[in-house]
A and B are shown apart, each in its own frame.
Chain A
Amino acid sequence: MNSVNTGEAIVFWVCAVLAVLGAVGLITSRKAVHSALWMALTMISLAVLYIANNAPFLGMVQVIVYTGAVMMLFLFVLMVVGVDSSDSLIETIKGQRFLALLLGLLLIVILVWGLGSSLAGLPAVGLDGANRVDGGNVQSIAHLIFTDYLVVFEVTSALLITAAMGAMVLAHREHWQPKPTQAQLSVARFKGDEHPGNRPNPGIYARHNAVDTPALLPDGTPTDASIPGALRARGEVAPVDINDGRAIEEADSL
């Protein structure tokens, strides 16, 4: 069965083009999130190609693990880092484009030459032959993973766990005292000196309800309590006309 039928040809040309498009988009996008999305497109196209080549398990795992978990973690980190922080385009490593090109070419040579020379003499069993051994594609993969490639499989998982442990150790922060519970926090809030209720909104008794305009106390004096701390620190509090308060007093007395 070396012939390619029409359906297979259509799937290949659509998905191959999409995969290459995704890869090009990945390196040309300016926004990190867009790059991640292009990467997801490439991975899904590859998964479809795997499935079209009668490797449904590999295709599904590709989507679940790479698109679903790895890319999702990537997106998570990018979103935590910042909504609009497009990366700086100044290259800190000298000649990294040239180096990347060189290493990429080297990788292609190694893959083609290494795989080509090692697989050249092998007789091809064919898809049916490979799947017939254990009664199905999934069973055959399971058989290989848990017999011939068991050590590789376990070593890979040990590597991943080590990486995860390393990340946890790096991100770990020692607590000097036990973390306060929700109940303790609420008790502390009511025992403290600060007023436990809402702070006055901007604009109370004042001329404007902009956030930088302090609310006025009933006696007409401005209060800083309604101004967000960030604005206060930057000194961006709007000046208050003391007549604002007097106007209210006058209105009251009428």
Chain B
Amino acid sequence: MTEGQWGWFGVDPWWIVIVKVLGIFVLLVLLTLFTIWWERRVVSRMQHRIGPNRVGPFGLLQSLMDGVKLALKEEIVPKGVHLAVYWIAPIISATMAFTAFAVIPFGPLVNMFGVETPLQLTDFPVSVLYVLAIASIGIYGIVLAGWASGSIYPLLGGLRSSAQMISYEIAMGLSFVAVFLYAGSMSTSEIVSSQEPIWFAVILLPSFLIYVTAMVGETNRAPFDLPEAEGELVGGFHTEYSSMKFALFFLAEYINMVTVSALATTLFLGGWRAPWPISLWEASNTGYWPILWWLVKVQIFIFVFIWLRGTLPRLRYDQFMKFGWKVLIPVSIAWILIVATARVLRNDVTMSNTEILLIGGAIIVVLLIGSWLLQSRSDRKAAELEEAKAKAHARPFDAMAGGYPVPPMPGQQVTLPTRRATSSVTTQEAIDG
């Protein structure tokens, strides 16, 4: 797609729109079933287990069976719930999860039943913001589920979720800014086409890393799964949900994983475009092939999600908030400043890339030296303080402190008693006794 590509969106005949919507729906449901199976298998492998392998080839139909079972289970509605909100919450969660996918590009212009049309439901000048907006409505489902359950653990889960969403959406939005600056657009199809020579993940690596961190926080996945921390909050926001309503939350969580992965692919990994060795093949970026490259890239992100869950422990809540506000947001603001300055220098002052790199390098060296000087000074002060503290707290090791045999405290020196000293003590005790 080149110049005048806006002409391709919003002009499809009605039946093509229905075909695309159905295609996306089916793809998302299938991807959810597959991702659940894959997650269970990969986590099992990481824990030296085998995982589901009974239903269908390699156990592939396991999640389908589980889904059917879940839908047929008894629905339990607790007494104290706010009924209307309790009903709406899972519906908001699930519908918003599906809706966000409308602007994700799967491929170039193709011939669909004789009609020339892009492999993307729709696109408009602010479609990346659209995904953000839909995601922020989707969180309402979780927050309202926590509130409407009328019980304390879900409420805590909902509270955590709203705080988490506000904090991490800022970091997420900031990580988009550098991409917008480089692509010169906020539409997904234009961002994909502006990554033709090189992926934004390479030239905007800090943005990419911030986005990947924020997307794990935004989807409530381990190690940031505080809203449903099963060790602390039973099930978090979905504690009081059962049967189909719970299944909707489950579905929404996995679709959200796919959505943020697809967005990461679109913004940073060149979208549906074939990666380098494959792109040498002429036909790799035409027809329906790009769907395959897209799927592979999305699955890589999903694997990272699973990998994180299999390896990292959950963060403590205050550490999590500190990380979001004191690390991710300042780092992304600083990075945006750097990117914007570089863009202005190149576009308006017309500096060459080499000059920008040289000046940037000089500034970084000065900053590093400055921070090193500051650090060594504060280190020295801290060491002095530590020494003074240690002197004040140093007590000789007493093996029978408080009347019981005890091991040495950290920092205490163990002096092994000599035989004579031991015998003298016993004698002393004997005399006393």
Measured CB to CB, the residues of A under 8 A from B are: 31, 33-34, 37, 40, 44, 47, 56-57, 60-61, 63-64, 67-69, 72-73, 75-76, 79-80, 83-84, 136-138, 182
Contacts and interface: CB of A to CB of B under 8 A. Distances in A.
B219 to A, nearest CB: 16
Contact of B136 (A33, A37, A72, A182): A72
A83 B150 contact: yes
24 contacts: A33-B147, A34-B85, A37-B85, A37-B144, A40-B140, A56-B124, A57-B129, A60-B129, A68-B132, A68-B136, A68-B137, A68-B139, A68-B169, A69-B169, A72-B140, A73-B162, A76-B159, A76-B163, A79-B146, A79-B155, A79-B162, A83-B147, A136-B125, A137-B125
Contact of A64 (B85, B136, B163): B136
B165 A61 contact: no
A68 B147 CA distance: 17
Given A33-B85, A37-B144, 13 more contacts: A56-B126, A60-B132, A63-B133, A64-B129, A64-B133, A67-B137, A72-B140, A73-B162, A79-B146, A80-B159, A83-B150, A138-B186, A182-B316
B130 interface: yes
B143 interface: yes
B166 interface: yes
Contacts of A138: 125-126, 186
B236 interface: no
A72 B143 contact: yes
A165 to B, nearest CB: 15
A136 B190 CA distance: 14
Interface string B138-169: 01100110110010000100110011011001
A86 to B, nearest CB: 11
Interface in B161-183: 162-163, 165-166, 169, 173
Interface of B: 82, 85, 124-126, 129-130, 132-134, 136-137, 139-140, 143-144, 146-147, 150, 155, 158-159, 162-163, 165-166, 169, 173, 186, 316
Nearest to B125: A138
B105 to A, nearest CB: 17
Q: Is the interface of B mostly helix, strand, loop or mixed?
A: helix
B386 to A, nearest CB: 14
A64 B126 CA distance: 12
Given A68-B137, A72-B139, A61 B129 contact: yes
A63 B136 contact: yes
A57 B132 CA distance: 12
A160 B292 CA distance: 47
Max chain A Cβ within 10 angstroms of own Cβ: one of B132, B133, B169: B133
Contacts of A40: 140
Nearest to A139: B125
Contacts of A56: 124-126, 130
Contacts of B129: 57, 60-61, 64
A63 B140 CA distance: 12
A72 to B, nearest CB: 5
A194 B169 CA distance: 43
B147 A79 contact: yes
A40 B89 CA distance: 14
B141 to A, nearest CB: 12
A75 B143 contact: yes
B143 A57 contact: no
A114 B140 CA distance: 38
Nearest to A63: B133
Given A79-B147, A80-B159, A73 B166 contact: yes
Contact of B125 (A31, A57, A73, A182): A57
B191 to A, nearest CB: 13
Contacts of B130: 56, 60
A65 B140 CA distance: 14
Nearest to A138: B125
Nearest to A74: B162
B162 A72 contact: yes
A79 B159 contact: yes
A69 B133 contact: no
A44 B159 contact: no
A60 B133 contact: yes
A60 B165 CA distance: 17
Contacts of B124: 56
Contacts of B133: 47, 60, 63-64, 67-68
A68 B218 CA distance: 13
A67 B166 contact: no
A170 to B, nearest CB: 19
B17 to A, nearest CB: 13
Contacts of B136: 63-64, 67-69, 72
Nearest to A69: B166
Contacts of A63: 133-134, 136-137
A68 B165 CA distance: 9
Contacts of B163: 76
B78 to A, nearest CB: 13
A137 B133 CA distance: 18
Contacts of B144: 37
A67 B147 CA distance: 17
Q: Which 7 A-B pairs have the closest CB atoms?
A: A68-B136, A63-B133, A60-B129, A76-B162, A56-B126, A64-B133, A60-B126
A34 B147 CA distance: 11
Contacts of A84: 150
